[in-house]
Structure 1
Amino acid sequence: MRFKSLREIEREKPLEIKLDGLPREIKIDLYAKEKAFMISELVRDIHEESVEWYGFTLASKENPESIIDIGLPRNEQNVQQYTSINPEMIEQYQESLPEYLIINGWIHSHASLEFKRFSGTDEENNITVLEYVSPSLKKPIAKKEVKVRKWSFLVENEFGDEKLREGNVCLITDVPVSTARLLETIYGSFCFCLVIGDDGWHEQQIYYKKREILTGETFYDTHEAELAVFDSGRKLFRSEITTLAEKVRENIRPVTSPPPEQIERM
């Protein structure tokens, strides 16, 4: 048999049915955005220097795709050019939250640096947070066909061991069948990643993780996202700013000389 082109022998693409989508923009309450920049202002006022800090973006379990608050955990250490994060710190902070709140990402400040984008270290932190939040944010986003080259259709209680040697996949049913298609679920999750600066600039990305439940294949992707600011009416009153200032004193700890291994990563 001769083919005019390679297209004639291309394999048929597996069926894929979209069930749901993942966010393409970052919805954030005006209150949460203002709170983030207020933290930076308090850091400068209290510690008399501009240093990096990080916090977590928070959402309600009923609406995990909208940021409604900013959480400020105890930062491991803060320097002018670097901030670190690890899974244990994320888990510890999540456990301290009210039952209705979950972490859906993280936010950090580049302070007064002119580096107005995500750094290599930031990207490592982005993945760290994504891996932590994925189990709580994952949802089925598609069904994808798993191509089976050779089926073996068997009827329950009507076959011997020798029949199990046939085919690449055995489908055992209570009644005879002659054809079948196998669809696996693809789960998707996301993580909001925001970076801000002292002079008011901000950049944001969404990190995605998609996993095929049967094959176990996992895919990662990123998207440069826009902020979609909404106003819930919640205000950052003076009493809350006072409480926030105490958290800044307690949780953000500037250090003047980071360990050598951290300097190498900067």
Structure 2
Amino acid sequence: EAAAQGLIAGINAALKIRGEGPFILKRSEAYIGVLIDDLVTKGTEEPYRMFTSRAEHRLVLRVDNVEERIMPHACRLGLADQGELDLVEERRQLLERDLARLKKVIVHPEKVNGILEAMGENLLTDAQPLFKILKRPRISYQEIAHLDPQPVDDPDLRFKLDVRIKYDGYIEREERLIKRLETMEKEMIPEDFDYGLAKNISNEAREKLFKVRPRSLGQASRISGITPADILNLTLAIRRWKS
């Protein structure tokens, strides 16, 4: 936890010297983003520990997609070169192509039922896409790679295929939720906004807003004790102030 804060502090110190804007990782991009947002927004009265349960978007904070999440930032900050970023993008596109391809590979029962029976899975009664068969919890790509006309040999890519296929519906739902929440994150609160102008929020909420001074409505909504009604009234107050 301390090393993560030191890393981000060092990066932002360098950016400030160069006259550039701050580097802020989103809660949906990295556990470091969750850690720092929690400390700044919620505070803590005891040593903070970064548990995965603290991240509401942990389904997209996976070990198999860390390069896709972080490498663009690393390249922009000069911690990685364009060649490394291009390689990550190339592998991402290859993964997406394989995912789309496996939805079109049809497997007949007689080809796979022996494997399914041995793994304790229900047998097929009709032909199904390989993608759908791989959704079964006990079946990994390795077990049925021989049924793929264009088998994937890379162990890392095989692992990514298994993860993406097994959690396909959940990941898509989480990504839709993140996009909706990002709307609030883009609603920036002016640095010089006077929270005393928000007349219809509680005194406790106003005190916390003055203390934290959130950068956006999204961050404000995560402050302990701030209710949806407070956010609505704060939004209206900011719009009146801007006009």
TM-score band, normalised by shorter chain:
under 0.3
Which of the pair has more CA radius of gyration?
Answer: 1
Higher relative contact order (CA 8 A, sep 6+): 1
Structure with greater proportional helix content:
2
Taking structure 1 as the reference length, what is the TM-score of the superposition? Answer: 0.25
Structure with greater proportional strand content:
1
Taking structure 2 as the reference length, what is the TM-score of the superposition? Answer: 0.26
